Homo-oligomer: A and B are copies of this chain.
Amino acid sequence: MQARVGIVGYRGYSGAELVRILQRHPLVEPVLLEHREDAGAATPIRRTKAPAQLACDPQVVRSEGLAVVFLATPPEVSMELAPALLGAGARVIDLSGAFRLGTPENYAAWYKAPHTQPELLAEAVYGLPEFCRHGIPSARLVANPGCYPTAANLALRPLLEAGVVDRAAGIVCDAKSGVSGAGRKPSLKTSFCEVTQNFSAYSILHHRHVPEVLQVCGLEEREFSFTAQLLPLDRGILETIYFRAQGVASVAALLDIYDRRYASEPFIRLFEPGHTPDLSGVARTNFCDLGVTLDAASGRAVVVSAIDNLTKGAAGQAVQNMNLMLGFGETEALL
């Protein structure tokens, strides 16, 4: 028997990607939960069967027996909906930033708004399976990581744990994202004519995804310089990460750290020395691709980390978390 799972925000890019992945998941039946403007928009294709569309309320959760509800909604909507859904017996995977940061104070500082559910924030488990797998199977509420921090944390934390990064010299993370990362709501900034043939930086040094990296990697803000940039393409994040290496003499030694840490991780792929990931290689996959360059004489090191922002950076990782929560194979519907 298939587990029934709900999706709120299914018309956004992350939500639509969730539907796409879950529709081919053999152990799950997706149900669309209409919340405000989400309703409507039946397909124009004749004789098509679309997933069921129901109201997003606790009664539906109970009567439909939804095991999990995905929230692909803005943080303020997630804070509003999560308590009732949990109260109705569903477990929640939230794709927004609402439950990712450690304290209400930290949330308020980066999101410029008060946190209205501090108890749920305290309970939430950060859903980066490669580093938090332990807590996910039993979690009631999983905070699905941000897209930028996923690529950065997977690249940096093994090296920081191994002590080969000179933190005092500072780490630079130059991040580039496809436009779908900005969401589906129309705006001049994401209009075709403004983006095509263009490239620009935003939130230089102050992006609200930064604290997720500080938190997972144990870094101070002054040690980590982050810039977000908008690529003229649909989907994908590539981060070029610069640091001063210490105690390693070769690319092979750096790769060896990754190889050991990620030996049994199904979604991390390492590139041979002299090769480097690109966005085509991860498009529509749940992989994080990592490539390493080192100038041994000076210690200058560069790691390139690539993911699909809608998959490993959002919907794919959310399904990975659901698989862990429901006791399915971790890669189900994701390979």
Within 8 Å CB of A186, what residues of B?
A: 186-188, 190-191
Rounded to whole angstroms, the CA-CA distance of A289 and B195 in the bound complex is: 18
Binary interface profile of A, 208-251, with partner B (CB < 8 Å = 1, else 0)? 00000000000001100101010111111010101010000000
Q: Is B184's CB under 8 angstroms from A191's CB?
A: yes
Contacts of A134 in B (CB 8 A): none
Inter-chain contact A272/B197, CB cutoff 8 Å: no
Residue A56 is within 8 A (CB to CB) of chain B in the complex = no
Q: Which of A81-89, A108-116, A166-174, A314-322 contacts B (4 or more CB under 8 A)?
A: A166-174
Q: Please encode chain A, from 146 to 171, with 1 for each CB lying within 8 Å of some chain B CB and 0 for all others.
A: 00000000000000000000000110
In the complex, what's the smallest C-beta–C-beta distance from A311 to chain B, in angstroms? 14
CB-based contact B240/A174 at 8 Å: yes
Is A192's beta carbon under 8 Å from chain B? Answer: yes
Q: Which residues in B have their C-beta under 8 angstroms from that of A46?
A: 255, 259, 269-272
Kindly identify, within residues 282 to 314 of chain A, every residue whose CB is under 8 Å from any CB belonging to chain B.
283-284, 289, 293, 295, 297-298, 300, 302, 304
Distance between A19 CB and nearest chain B CB, rounded to angstroms: 15
User: Smallest CB-CB separation from A180: which chain B residue?
Assistant: B193
A138 interface hit (Cβ, 8 Å)? no
Query: Is A103 close to B, CB under 8 A?
Result: no
Best-surrounded residue of A176, A197, A231, A298 (most CB of chain B within 10 A): A197
Cβ A197 vs Cβ B233 within 8 A: yes
Q: Which residues of B contact A253 (CB under 8 A)?
A: none
Q: Which residues from chain B contact A229 at a C-beta distance below 8 Å?
A: 176, 238, 240
Which of A57-65, A93-101, A117-125, A273-281 contacts the other chain? A273-281
**Given A169-B169, A192-B179, A233-B232, do A198 and B278 touch, yes or no (CB 8 Å)?**
yes
Please tell me if the beta carbons of A201 and B240 are within 8 angstroms of each other in the complex. yes
Chain B residues lying within 8 Å of A2, measured Cβ to Cβ, are none
With an 8 A cutoff between CB atoms, is A45 at the interface?
Answer: yes
Q: Report whether B279 and A200 are in contact in the complex, using a CB–CB cutoff of 8 Å.
A: yes
A13 sits at the interface (CB 8 A): yes
Chain B residue numbers with a CB within 8 Å of A196 are: 179, 192, 196-197, 232-234
Give Cα A174–Cα B233 distance, bound, in whole angstroms.
19
Known: A269-B45, A302-B204. A191 touches B191 (CB 8 A): yes
Let me know if A221 and B298 touch, CB within 8 A. yes
Known: A174-B172, A186-B191, A221-B298. A231 touches B272 (CB 8 A): no
**Smallest CB–CB gap between A260 and chain B, Å?**
12
Not counting A45-B289, A201-B276, A227-B240, a sample of 17 additional A-B residue pairs whose C-beta atoms are within 8 angstroms of each other reads A48-B269, A169-B170, A170-B170, A174-B242, A186-B186, A186-B188, A190-B191, A190-B192, A191-B191, A196-B196, A199-B233, A200-B276, A200-B278, A204-B293, A205-B300, A222-B297, A232-B233
Q: Which 8 A/B pairs are nearest by Cβ-Cβ distance? A: A44-B275, A200-B278, A222-B298, A174-B174, A186-B186, A204-B293, A192-B195, A179-B192
10 interchain pairs (CB within 8 A)?
A170-B170, A176-B199, A194-B280, A196-B234, A200-B238, A201-B238, A201-B304, A231-B231, A232-B233, A284-B284
